Amino acid sequence: MDANMLRGHLDLILLSTLEGGPLYGLRIIQNVHQQTKGAFQFKEGTLYPALHRLEQQGLLSSEVQPSDTGGPPRKYYRLTAQGREALRRKQAEWQAFTRAMRPFGGLSLGQA
């Protein structure tokens, strides 16, 4: 998958991934990889700057918690109320985009 496609939709992917509840970085990477059947593979150099940016924008909050495996503490990220609103807007934008793209090349973009 083209890295530019990922970059253009990174916020939507991250906010959607965190919609189900708080996660730490490695778990976010694993969930995205699993949900996209390997199409998107985040690198830490992409993931953490994006998480920090979203946190600075007030869309995420974070909390350090002890590891359940006895390792070092983990930083868990969660959606804020503002983040949930941003997610809804981004989902609506995505649906509008996919509807607009349908006429080009017989794209099958799901039911938007």
* CATH code of the domain containing 46: 1.10.10.10
| Residue 110 domain-assigned (yes or no) | no
Are 112 and 95 in contact by the 8 Å Cβ rule? The answer is yes
Band of residue 112 on the pLDDT scale cut at 50, 70, 90: very low
Q: State the residue range of the domain holding 82.
A: 3-101
- For residue 108, being part of any structural domain is answered with no
Chain mean pLDDT for the chain: 87
Q: Is residue 46 part of a domain?
A: yes
- Residue 26 has a pLDDT of 92
Strand order of the β-sheet with 74-79 is: 23-24, 74-79, 60-65
Strand, coil or helix: 38: coil
In a domain, 109, yes or no: no
> Of 49, 51, 42, 41, which is closest to residue 18 (Cα–Cα)?
51
Cα–Cα distance measured from residue 29 to residue 98, given in angstroms and rounded to the nearest whole number: 25
Let me know if residue 112 belongs to a domain: no
Residue 51 counted as domain residue: yes
pLDDT tens column, 14-48? 999 999 999 999 999 999 999 989 888 888 888 99
Query: In the predicted model, is pLDDT for residue 76 greater than 60?
Result: yes
The number of distinct structural domains making up the chain is 1
